[in-house]
Structure 1
């Protein structure tokens, strides 16, 4: 929102939320109907309007995903600052301008007969369109843009756009409604002239021109340099005809320079070219890929989780992973992504963070949770993890933390097999179990004397039960097999605090795994606190109980570039396994934590708190 919002700030369909596309649905259905029945009044312009809207959305999304992948790597980065959840929320409505143009296209089609009957292709119309853009459109935009930086208009309108210092491709279209009306009038000039005056317009010329606008808008707002230097060397006048991301980035950091739309020659003519433009361009081109100190290795979970990745839909990624009904409509894309993940043979970067003196990244193994459950996939996935470890070792990364099922006890013995295969590994491999244990232990309310244990046994489960029994807290197991295994892992003295009660569900604190059943939850008393110790959360079925997050911590405000939720966790909450790797890197601890090794639980807990991480608290069902 602008600092002092003016009239026509809000989009008229804002109250409709995600249902705003009902505004064009009747026209899209009607055009398809006319085509299907072979009606005499059907025409290609009317039929292709909605598919063209879809193409624009796909085009923009491709730029968003590509840009986030590149900025995660860090090479050719222009502004090394953070994007936050506030910016993601502000830029969530980037498709409003596509909807606006679609509505106006439909209106013009029904109101102007000439437009409805324009031909599919005319070369002279396409040439004229770009000549008009180079002249009147670029000139008028330059002066309108300068006017927007006058205090009156800037505070009421354009400051909304400039709230994003670090730009993403879609930042280009984040403007108040009134501002977009003016932009549409400007960009409509070539289309109106060619369609109504010279009668040389065509469907192709309009499509190419609008796609050109989207392309240049997205490219210019990337936070990395993408135009190679040789392009300007081969054709020197290009520097006056095409801007670069670094050119426009300076406009967002300096504000009163580099006003041009896509062609910088008006900035040269009127003396508003930033003097550091060429220097920033060359500096950005030379910036190498980041080498972080810590890497967190995770993997995909559900088929729909691909949309929740930072590289996917920004709006979904900024919220905890949940099932959305409209994602079922995208099953072809979901299926394609699963096949691509199956074929793709290596991990990829999804996130880049900065915190204190270190840089951190998150890498994803391109496999889903179901793959980890398949015995015949185990060797292939372990190979992918091993290759990621060796790649990190080669790059000089100091710590790699294994997230989710990448460190399962039955899968790779909590990462122990990688150390056995590579005993001279300099990089430290962390399974994060010690901090997960610490989070669970410190989530138990003070004064608790007994807890109920229910869940699959794991390294974290054994450690938590052992610590509780050692403190004199009674742990009750409701399954005999679990009880017997736990008892064998305890000393004689500690085992006296372990009890078996197959009918006992009266405890107010439950330690639970993801396999906690609905029937078991139904036996809990009102107000019971469910504390997960597993990587995946149990299904929440009780509204009168409290469910904590899986072991996790709230990141400090100084934890940079955190604008996507980690799986099902709330905003700015990250898993204990991921935090463990970051803390190990910050502290410089020269030790592995894999297999049967458990790091000092109290030591890593205190270190985490000292670095600003905090418990995430109780979450109602």
Structure 2
């Protein structure tokens, strides 16, 4: 919101929330129905294509969002290094409002203006007129409108909302108050209305012009440079006719320079070009891919999780996972994304952070949870993980932490497999089990005298049970084989605190993978389920509480946090396994933590607290 919001700041349909798309429903239904029932000679192609055009604009914008977030995470050609946080994601979530606004106006014009219906696919004269009118009056008028919006009166009431984003993303280009969008649409309507009135309009001219505006807007705000300098050397006048991402980024960092829309000509004429424009352009292009100090290796979970990645839908990524009805309608795209990820055999970078002096990155394996459960997929998964570790080692990474199922015992012996194959690794492989155990020990209520251990026995489960027994808390299991497996791993040091329970009466359950609905139903009312697994249990009971998976609250000094980890963790909460890798690098520990080896839990816990990570207080539901 602007610092002093003026009139017509909010969009008219804001009270509708996510149901705002219903305002287009009557128009879309009418245009589709008319196309289907009318004779071929009476069909209005322009009216029918408005809805596909709006969908194309949304897809076009999303492609730019994904590309921008991927490129800026990797670092090559990145322009501005400052962080994007949750407040910017929240402020820019309604970037599609201007597409809805355009759709309403297109439908109205088609129904009311002579020459706006029954238009052909192509007319050369109309395309030429559109180009000339944009290069002439539109660019000139925009320059002066933009300068006016930087006058303190209009800036404080309208344009400051746009400039709240110093580090831009493609969708930053359309984040303006409603009144400001009205003025922009009036400008962009000059070429479109002219070709309609003169009878030279065509689908290509109108749709092409809108696509051009979207393309240039997104490019100018993408925060990575992609226009090579040789273009300006080969054709020098081009520098006056086409801006670059670095050109416009200076407008967001300097505010009083580089006002032009897409053609810098008027900045050169009126002396408002930033003096560092050419230098920044060249330096951004020379910028190499960033070499991280710490890499966290994770993977996809469900088919819909691709939309919750930071490279997916920005607003969904910024919230803990909730089922959205519209994702069900996108199953064809979801299916194609699954096919692509199954074929694509390398990790990809989704996020970059900075903490203290460390550069952090998150890499994702294009594998789903279900694939980790398939025996025939394990070789391929291990190959991708191994390649990621070797690549991190080659880049000089200090620590690589294994998240989710990338450290399964059956898959790679908690990461120990890679040390056997590459004993001279400089990068430290960390499974984070010691910090996960420490977090769990502090999640258990102090008055607890007995807990029930259910689910798959893992390295974390065994260490957790051992620590509880050493602290005088009884750990109960319900199966003899589980009891014996734990007892043997403890070397008879647990005393009488490891017991077999004949009932499910305990009110504190420590649960891992494999906890069934049938077992959950046996728990007494009010039971607290505390997962020790990386994946949370399915919640079948409404009369019980479920803690989140082992995690801690991150310090505010951790930069560029604008997405929720693992879909189910709240904002600025990070899994213990990921934090363990960061702490390992901060402390400069020289040993690996993988295989069956573990660090001292008290030492790791104190180190995490010392670096600003905080325990969660009763984060359950």
Task: Quote the residue 1:534 is aligned against.
Answer: 533
Task: Quote the residue 1:312 is aligned against.
Answer: 312
TM-superposed deviation, 1:318: 0.7
Aligned pairs for 1:554-573 (under 5 A) are 554-567=553-566, 568-573=568-573
Moved more, 344-353 or 276-285: 276-285
State the secondary structure of the residue aligned to 1:494.
coil
Q: Does 1:59 align with 2:60?
A: yes
1:229-256 CA-to-partner distances (Å, cap 9, x unmatched) read 1111111111111111111111111111
TM-superposed deviation, 1:34: 1.6
Distance between the aligned counterparts of 1:378 and 1:620, measured in 2?
33
1:301-323 CA-to-partner distances (Å, cap 9, x unmatched) read 00000000000010111111233
Q: Does 1:544 align with 2:543?
A: yes
State the secondary structure of the residue aligned to 2:115.
helix
TM-superposed deviation, 1:282: 1.3
Distance between the aligned counterparts of 1:614 and 1:566, measured in 2?
16
Distance between the aligned counterparts of 1:217 and 1:510, measured in 2?
53
TM-superposed deviation, 1:15: 1.2
State the secondary structure of the residue aligned to 1:351.
strand
Task: Quote the residue 1:104 is aligned against.
Answer: 105
TM-superposed deviation, 1:525: 3.5
Aligned pairs for 1:188-203 (under 5 A) are 188-196=189-197, 198-203=198-203
Task: Quote the residue 2:155 is aligned against.
Answer: 154
Distance between the aligned counterparts of 1:172 and 1:491, measured in 2?
63
Distance between the aligned counterparts of 2:590 and 2:493, measured in 1?
33
Task: Quote the residue 2:272 is aligned against.
Answer: 272
Distance between the aligned counterparts of 2:617 and 2:249, measured in 1?
39
TM-superposed deviation, 1:545: 2.7
Task: Quote the residue 1:169 is aligned against.
Answer: 170
Task: Quote the residue 2:587 is aligned against.
Answer: 587
Aligned pairs for 1:427-466 (under 5 A) are 427-466=427-466
Distance between the aligned counterparts of 2:217 and 2:416, measured in 1?
49
Tell me if the contact between 1:304 and 1:323 (Cα under 8 Å) persists in the aligned partners: no
Task: Quote the residue 2:511 is aligned against.
Answer: 512
Distance between the aligned counterparts of 2:234 and 2:588, measured in 1?
49
Aligned pairs for 1:22-421 (under 5 A) are 22-39=22-39, 41-196=42-197, 198-421=198-421
How much is the aligned-residue C-alpha RMSD, in angstroms? 1.2
1:57-106 CA-to-partner distances (Å, cap 9, x unmatched) read 00000000000000000111111011001100110000110110001000
Distance between the aligned counterparts of 1:58 and 1:306, measured in 2?
15
Tell me if the contact between 1:372 and 1:378 (Cα under 8 Å) persists in the aligned partners: yes
Tell me if the contact between 2:399 and 2:585 (Cα under 8 Å) persists in the aligned partners: yes
Tell me if the contact between 1:552 and 1:574 (Cα under 8 Å) persists in the aligned partners: yes
Distance between the aligned counterparts of 1:423 and 1:227, measured in 2?
43
The alignment of Structure 1 onto Structure 2 pairs a total of residues equal to 619
Unpaired runs of 5+ in structure 2?
none
Tell me if the contact between 1:514 and 1:539 (Cα under 8 Å) persists in the aligned partners: no
TM-superposed deviation, 1:513: 1.4
1:31-79 CA-to-partner distances (Å, cap 9, x unmatched) read 1222222346430010000000000000000000000000000111111
Distance between the aligned counterparts of 1:576 and 1:582, measured in 2?
10
Distance between the aligned counterparts of 1:148 and 1:134, measured in 2?
21
Moved more, 558-567 or 63-72: 558-567
Distance between the aligned counterparts of 1:316 and 1:164, measured in 2?
19
Tell me if the contact between 2:548 and 2:620 (Cα under 8 Å) persists in the aligned partners: no
1:247-290 CA-to-partner distances (Å, cap 9, x unmatched) read 11111111111111010111111111111111111111111110
Distance between the aligned counterparts of 1:481 and 1:474, measured in 2?
18
State the secondary structure of the residue aligned to 2:158.
helix
Tell me if the contact between 2:45 and 2:119 (Cα under 8 Å) persists in the aligned partners: no
State the secondary structure of the residue aligned to 1:378.
helix
Distance between the aligned counterparts of 1:461 and 1:173, measured in 2?
50
Task: Quote the residue 1:603 is aligned against.
Answer: 603
Distance between the aligned counterparts of 1:481 and 1:259, measured in 2?
73
TM-superposed deviation, 1:114: 1.4
1:179-221 CA-to-partner distances (Å, cap 9, x unmatched) read 101110000001111210x322211011111100000000000
Tell me if the contact between 1:396 and 1:427 (Cα under 8 Å) persists in the aligned partners: yes
Distance between the aligned counterparts of 2:258 and 2:585, measured in 1?
41
Distance between the aligned counterparts of 1:325 and 1:104, measured in 2?
27
TM-superposed deviation, 1:297: 0.6
Tell me if the contact between 1:436 and 1:577 (Cα under 8 Å) persists in the aligned partners: yes
Distance between the aligned counterparts of 1:410 and 1:617, measured in 2?
33
Distance between the aligned counterparts of 1:479 and 1:319, measured in 2?
39
Distance between the aligned counterparts of 2:430 and 2:619, measured in 1?
28
* TM superposition score normalised by structure 2: 0.98
Distance between the aligned counterparts of 1:501 and 1:371, measured in 2?
35
Distance between the aligned counterparts of 1:479 and 1:12, measured in 2?
62
